[in-house]
Structure 1
Amino acid sequence: MHAINYISSGRCEFNVWAPFLSAVAVKILSPEERLVPMEKDMEGFWRATLTGITPAVRYLYRLSDEKDRPDPASQYQPDGVHGPSQVIDHSAFRWSDENWRGISLSEMIIYELHVGTFTPDGTFKAIIPRLDEVRDTGINTIELMPVSQFPGERNWGYDGVYPYAVQNSYGGPQGLKHLVNECHRRGISVILDVVYNHLGPEGNYLRDFGPYFTTTYLTPWGEAINFDSAYSREVRNYFIENALHWLRHYHVDALRIDAVHAIFDMKAKHFLSELSERVEEFSQEQGRKYYLIAESDLNDSRIVMPRESGGYGIDGVWCDDFHHSLHTLLTGENRGYYLDFGKIEHMVKSMKEGFVYSGEYSEFRKRNHGNSSGDIPAQQMVVFSQNHDQTGNRMLGERLSALVSFEALKLAAGVVLLSPYVPLIFMGEEYGEDTPFLYFVSHSDPGLIEAVQRGRMREFREFKWQGGLPDPQSTETFLKSKIDWEKRREGHHKVLLNFYRQLIGLRKTIPALSHPDKKNLCAEGNENQRILFIMRRKDASQIMIALNFNGADVACVPPLSDGAWNKAIDSAESIWRGPGSVLPYELVPGSEITVRGGSIALYIRKSPLLEENGGIQQSNPENHE
């Protein structure tokens, strides 16, 4: 066990892994300073059980009688990454979610948010008053960008250096627990973003304790974490225990694992396989399912294949190809990794399978890329039109609202929310937030600050974006990235928000939309007309979606099956601030229609079963206040 264990009545067991050190002592700083030698076991763990310890006690580890360092498995760093660690008593928090069973991945409508920029205060506590409005939009899951302790007060979270500690400026352990508890009280699941491929540079003292890193592989952030070399067993356990730490002590429902393509492991049993196995065991112990979702640049279906079939058993994976296909059709951008996309056929394939590149040659990578995702169940793929990466990794952090028209924003919403996959919305997207989401840090090392700026410039060269790079270290860069929640209450922002509500409502109530399924889906596209038709069905429920990526109106004949079809929603309608629809309310097979430029329309096949239940009516957006 890597983390300390507060037992009760002032007793606390301190544990730290340092296999090569000759001496380790725990240095208690309060209420009075004392130094207690620790004993080493055969596996390289140093242990000491102390009395007179309260949850407010702060401590350090003294290494080889030379230097004091915070705990590598610290659960709270009240004074930041360079300060002492603090003892936490997890049993002290009073949870009220004992009847909470979570939400299945297939039913999730995910809302990704960054704690620091989601509210003016930038804390866990400040999120809570907004949860009701998030839920009322139809969202049932929030995904928090990383909250592990990072240097300073401003960071995306991917520079964390204490994987077990909750960021002090966000509200620490109590703040996170209170937020999760309030989410569950409202029927909202919580996904936490975790980083197991690297640690940030500032405040990273793991090398002083043991061989946590290896020079065998290099990542974009430097040395790789040691998942397969000598002494890797304890390193792997450090991160596996971390995953269980968030599930057990903070009651989060799922973990999103950042950039698993940078987790290098050549062992027969991959780290991800071992991690999924341990989380599955934990789920069985708790009597409910906890999920793991991976971000990967590999287009490798093995990530989500069952372990017994040679996969890693991860529950879900982000599908970047879906985003790239959609983004290029909407914006016309074709530089960097967008070079491989831009055709209707790419969107068609992603709708049908997920990965667009399943072994084909990638011009951007100058090699063949990926394998087939055709057999991956739809509920194991998360799709989006925006996220923190695709927005924040632009030089000027432009959201889609700054790049395309209002009509295209509605089209993007429909593509994602009516897709056969699990949809993800990036904070503010639902009302067309137009503030940028920039990259920001608050390091204290001048050399590191300069290195970050140089690295960002190199990253943007291939895209050839115009304009000056905002200073990541500047407080102004951070403040510019805060969303303006009040925009959602007026003008076109309010209209777009109601459009999202309507789409989510249709997704939840129409069986053909509410069941993620690629097998009962047909997608047909016309490259010249830049139009795409999607047909989906579930038992008696059938729908047809018309997507026009052309700037002009297109006359066409949709591929309808027998029967009459009624219009459920049309983004061109004036109630959605569109140019006005020319689509009929009822369609029959063989009818020629005209789809407005940049619009999306959904038709539902009439069936006796639906008619008996009163059908599905288009609601008036003016009713959403």
Structure 2
Amino acid sequence: MMKKITLLFLLFSTITYCQVIITPATFDMNQSITISIDAKSSATNCNKFSNPQKIYIHSGVGDDNNPFGKSVVGNWGQDDGIGEMTLNSTNNRWEITFIPKTYYNLTDSEVATITKMGMVFRNENGSQEFKDNGCNDFVFNVGTFQLTLNSPSNTTTTLNSGQIYSISASTSKAANFTLKANGNIIDQKTNLTNYNYQHTVNQDIDFTLEAIHNGETKSVTFNFIVKPTITEAAIPSGMKDGINFNPTDNTKATLVFYAPMKEFVHVIGDFNNWTRNNMYLLKKDTAKDRFWIELTGLTPQTNHMYQYLVDGVIKVADPYSTSILDPSNDQYINSTTYPNLPTYPTGKTSHAVTLLRTGDEEYQWKTTDFQRPAKTDLVIYELLIRDFDALHSFDAVKARLDYLQGLGINAIEFMPVNEFDGNESWGYNPSFHMALDKYYGTPKAFKQLIDECHRRGIAVIIDVVYNHASGQNPYFRMYSSDSENYDAQVNANSPFFNQTATHSYSVFNDLNHSKQAVKDYVKRTAQYWIEEFKVDGFRWDLTKGFTQNCTNNEGCTNSEQADRVAILKEYADYQWEKDADFYVIFEHLGPNSEETKWVNYRLNEGKGIMVWSNHNWNYSSATRGKHTGRDTRHNRDYSSDFSWISYKNRGWSIPANISYMESHDEERLMFENFDDGNSNGSYNIKSTNIGLQRSELAGAFYFTVPGPKMIWQFGELGYDISINQNGRVGNKPILWNYFNNQERKDIYNTWNKLIQLKLKYDIFKTSDFTLDVANILGLKKIQLSSPNSPEIKYITIVGNFSTTTQNINPTLQKTGVWYDLLDNNKAQNFTNTNNLISLAPGEFKILASAPATLATENLILNHEVLIYPNPVKNSFRLNIKSNKLTLFDINGKKVKEFNGAFNIDKSFNIQELKKGFYILKIVNSKGKSYKKLIIN
């Protein structure tokens, strides 16, 4: 019986490697083979070995669709002897010999289905990996009869009409050849091992070449495309890269595509059945290296879809897509998260496609007068939607805003929400920088969330990742060694990516920010988020990677780089060009001299760049009660001195450091408390109640330091799950039940009060403050002074981070009555500024020269309450309905009260009250709020 095997012609159909050799070159599953590799080969530039002590082969067999699909042998990362190779000192190659049928434990019937063997090599623990020069697994044909197509070398070849092309192939045994063009036989030859044929190309042709030996057939398929005639035409005025909607005709849209070094581009989609058609050939504007086309006949409010077909070969979604459909991941997005999600055109195309809709109504923003918090007042809540709520959606976050508002934060920072690989991710694997990831919901849902945040006085910051892009990115695929392979190697002529990262933190594919194409891409995509979603700021991930000077050089990467400073200033300008008050935040964590340049950039215009400031280790050491010695788990000295949180210690004139005790990237304080906390007798930081109390103590020495602050999600509940559970970026348990635990809720309530203090009282903006936090006995002190403040003029904070009771000298700024603000303003008369205070372990006091009025209720008003006029002379009004208003003077004494059912704009007369500073408590059916009121 004839055995027929059809081989789809991919790169592995011509399977020869100098790095890896199989002897004999053609083999079947029942004969002994030897696989050898040259671990020092220069033929690969991907994942080289570096003096490995052992080498393992991780291999499998399968068919043309999956070379590993039938059986795999090897345990990745384990030094268990399975697949271990031996170094042959004669030829200096690593070798392993086996019979495939036995090695892969296959039956005779399974052997009959095997056509491919795949393999990759590693060191003993898997930290080093060896693949081919396209970062692909090595794949070999199985069978003693093999057909190899030598020319053409690619599946699709583009030719000029009338061009003569030589087709050549070889077989391992003499065979009869048949060549078919578009299904018709055009040539046959017999009893050859080398086949040659010349063909004149006048039209697009799909070829099949068959070779038959003793009844066994091998075949390869390939095609020729005749280059179309390109129309040269200038892009219409005002067009941007990507989709340009026609403002007067919803049946039209103009697509603009930057594609340097490409010859021709078609658009394929639902409007032409995903087929190449010269009616949909894009015009070319050579001067701008761009192709463009006006689509007509579109149906408004319909889910149209399209891709670009580049040079007749590469299918890519629009790099400037605002929504894409994915063939692998969309099926796992439920209808609650994304109602009426369009269906991917399975069977018609491959890879991501762009979603195009015309005629949709624009979102009508409800909050149009949002006033952003001052930079120094920012209390940011960093949030990963996936691990914040089980529904993992924008709507789910919106439903939790009462909780966040009750905590007192005034900004949310979302980890990346642009389209990334897969669904469940941290988001630092971006594929389309301008598209919203559908796993979190619709664009409308995101706008509704932002709108509601603004209504509540909460700013929205999003994490953006412009250091790199994943292999799905269209501009990576268009200029890589294999456009079908997301793990391929970028080409040297790429207008976007470096072949090797030019810094020491290589991640995915490194964008080259010295290229004008990259600058244009960043400007276009970044400004889109500002214009379309009205976000308030960007946190720029891994800004150290924006230099082009420091390939594989840690010292260079971590030192000041002029090119990096210049490009990041330019990117800041892009943002301020669209929004003059936009928050620009860099995650740099680099040299102070470099960060100082950003902090001072355009500061005289009221701008300036903010930077992340990591204090995790110091606060973690403090809460653990570890002030000296060495943490052998992390091979690092304990240090509870967090004085670097002071912007003054950095030589800055403003507090531009967004400081944090935890972030998505750091181990959780409470996990460290429970895992490595100190103890003394019955006082054990590893115990739940004491460990949690230490987080309240840390908060007292964190929120009170002038400057912006950031909380990582659930830190306010003492989240104690390690960052490494389920893998560093893996899903973490969502423990909302923690809020029902009083000991954990105590952190939430204490932090709320601390945030209230920070935001209500001007003393927490003073530049006159000192931090005495280096004491190795665990006693710490912060002092703030604001003698001209109309409210609190002095604050001294003392705390005991040790595990024993100790006395501390507060060295108060004055004698007299002081108030413990977090102990219901408990008063104590100090006749001597050096009167010792006894503090139990974990105890702290916030002493103030005047009492503070703090809300103790968990519910606060959903509306941003406005008092006008303020300052006031005789009467004031509110922008909300109210039932009860209470005025307190600076000492917390109630001086006036209004009760009733008051409408918006009701006038409240206070002309009998003295000039001064007051706190107004406002109550209505939705909750309570506290606002400052000044009478003059």
TM-score, with structure 1 as normaliser: 0.78
- Of stretches 303-312 and 20-29 in structure 1, the one that deviates more from structure 2 is 303-312
User: Contact 1:151 / 1:202 at 8 angstroms: preserved in 2?
Assistant: yes
- 2:507 aligned with 1:507, yes or no? no
Q: After superposition, what is the alpha-carbon deviation per residue over 1:505-537, rounded to whole angstroms, capped at 9, x for unaligned?
A: 222222212x2x4x3111224624221211112
Q: After superposition, what is the alpha-carbon deviation per residue over 1:233-281, rounded to whole angstroms, capped at 9, x for unaligned?
A: 1211211222211111011111111111111156497221111112222
Query: Which residue does 1:347 correspond to in 2?
Result: 642
Q: Partners in 1 of 2:761 and 2:606 — Cα distance?
A: 33
Query: Which residue does 2:818 correspond to in 1?
Result: 566
Out of 121, 125, 145, the residue aligned to residue 391 of structure 2 is 121
Query: Which residue does 2:590 correspond to in 1?
Result: 298
Query: Which residue does 1:387 correspond to in 2?
Result: 663
Q: Partners in 2 of 1:295 and 1:306 — Cα distance?
A: 16
The alpha-carbon deviation at position 295 of structure 1 amounts to 0.5
Query: Which residue does 2:726 correspond to in 1?
Result: 470
Q: What letter matches 1:342 in structure 2?
A: Y
Out of 234, 244, 247, the residue aligned to residue 5 of structure 1 is 244
CA distance change for structure 1 residues 499 and 249 in 2, over 3 Å: closer, same or farther? Answer: same
What secondary structure does 1:10 align onto? coil
CA distance change for structure 1 residues 496 and 528 in 2, over 3 Å: closer, same or farther? Answer: closer
Q: Partners in 2 of 1:160 and 1:399 — Cα distance?
A: 31
The alpha-carbon deviation at position 23 of structure 1 amounts to 0.9
Q: What letter matches 2:769 in structure 1?
A: L
- 2:341 aligned with 1:49, yes or no? no
Structure 1's unaligned 5+ residue stretches are: 355-372, 439-468, 576-580
Higher relative contact order, structure no. (Cα contacts within 8 Å, ≥ 6 residues apart)? 1
Query: Which residue does 1:459 correspond to in 2?
Result: none
The alpha-carbon deviation at position 500 of structure 1 amounts to 1.4
Q: What letter matches 1:315 in structure 2?
A: I
Q: After superposition, what is the alpha-carbon deviation per residue over 1:271-305, rounded to whole angstroms, capped at 9, x for unaligned?
A: 21111112222224xxxx11111111213324523
Q: Partners in 1 of 2:709 and 2:893 — Cα distance?
A: 22
What secondary structure does 2:425 align onto? coil
Out of 218, 221, 224, the residue aligned to residue 507 of structure 2 is 221
Query: Which residue does 2:601 correspond to in 1?
Result: 307
Query: Which residue does 1:249 correspond to in 2?
Result: 532
Q: What letter matches 1:276 in structure 2?
A: A
Q: Partners in 2 of 1:163 and 1:267 — Cα distance?
A: 23
* Number of corresponding residues: 543
Out of 702, 706, 715, the residue aligned to residue 420 of structure 1 is 706
Q: Partners in 2 of 1:142 and 1:402 — Cα distance?
A: 29
What secondary structure does 1:406 align onto? helix
Q: Which has the larger radius of gyration?
A: 2
Q: Partners in 2 of 1:603 and 1:309 — Cα distance?
A: 34
What secondary structure does 1:214 align onto? coil
CA distance change for structure 1 residues 435 and 31 in 2, over 3 Å: closer, same or farther? Answer: farther
Out of 722, 726, 736, the residue aligned to residue 485 of structure 1 is 736
Q: What letter matches 1:234 in structure 2?
A: A
- 2:805 aligned with 1:535, yes or no? no
Query: Which residue does 2:715 correspond to in 1?
Result: 429
What secondary structure does 2:416 align onto? coil
Q: Partners in 1 of 2:246 and 2:394 — Cα distance?
A: 27
Q: After superposition, what is the alpha-carbon deviation per residue over 1:86-134, rounded to whole angstroms, capped at 9, x for unaligned?
A: 1256862222122223222222211111011111111111111111221
Q: Partners in 2 of 1:175 and 1:402 — Cα distance?
A: 40
Query: Which residue does 1:594 correspond to in 2?
Result: 838
State the superposition RMSD in angstroms: 3.6
Counting aligned pairs with the same residue, the percent is 21
What secondary structure does 1:601 align onto? strand
Query: Which residue does 1:271 correspond to in 2?
Result: 567
Query: Which residue does 2:891 correspond to in 1?
Result: 614
What secondary structure does 1:165 align onto? strand
Q: After superposition, what is the alpha-carbon deviation per residue over 1:33-85, rounded to whole angstroms, capped at 9, x for unaligned?
A: 46511122212122112123345211111010112111112111233683211
User: Contact 1:158 / 1:195 at 8 angstroms: preserved in 2?
Assistant: yes
The alpha-carbon deviation at position 548 of structure 1 amounts to 2.0
User: Contact 2:529 / 2:535 at 8 angstroms: preserved in 1?
Assistant: yes
- Please identify which structure carries the higher helix content: 1
What secondary structure does 1:226 align onto? coil
- 2:543 aligned with 1:260, yes or no? yes
Q: After superposition, what is the alpha-carbon deviation per residue over 1:597-616, rounded to whole angstroms, capped at 9, x for unaligned?
A: 123321101399x9952249
User: Contact 2:465 / 2:541 at 8 angstroms: preserved in 1?
Assistant: yes
User: Contact 2:546 / 2:564 at 8 angstroms: preserved in 1?
Assistant: no
Q: Partners in 2 of 1:431 and 1:606 — Cα distance?
A: 30
- 2:330 aligned with 1:85, yes or no? no
User: Contact 2:851 / 2:890 at 8 angstroms: preserved in 1?
Assistant: no
- 2:358 aligned with 1:66, yes or no? no
- 2:523 aligned with 1:236, yes or no? no
The alpha-carbon deviation at position 311 of structure 1 amounts to 13
Query: Which residue does 1:317 correspond to in 2?
Result: 611
CA distance change for structure 1 residues 226 and 311 in 2, over 3 Å: closer, same or farther? Answer: farther
User: Contact 1:190 / 1:252 at 8 angstroms: preserved in 2?
Assistant: yes
Q: Partners in 2 of 1:400 and 1:207 — Cα distance?
A: 46
- 2:667 aligned with 1:374, yes or no? no
CA distance change for structure 1 residues 377 and 308 in 2, over 3 Å: closer, same or farther? Answer: closer
Q: Partners in 2 of 1:528 and 1:399 — Cα distance?
A: 19
Query: Which residue does 1:361 correspond to in 2?
Result: none
What secondary structure does 1:161 align onto? strand
The alpha-carbon deviation at position 350 of structure 1 amounts to 3.3
Q: Partners in 1 of 2:783 and 2:443 — Cα distance?
A: 47
User: Contact 1:72 / 1:206 at 8 angstroms: preserved in 2?
Assistant: no
TM-score, with structure 2 as normaliser: 0.54
The alpha-carbon deviation at position 434 of structure 1 amounts to 3.0
CA distance change for structure 1 residues 126 and 336 in 2, over 3 Å: closer, same or farther? Answer: farther
Q: Partners in 2 of 1:308 and 1:190 — Cα distance?
A: 23
CA distance change for structure 1 residues 43 and 616 in 2, over 3 Å: closer, same or farther? Answer: farther
Q: Partners in 2 of 1:313 and 1:274 — Cα distance?
A: 14
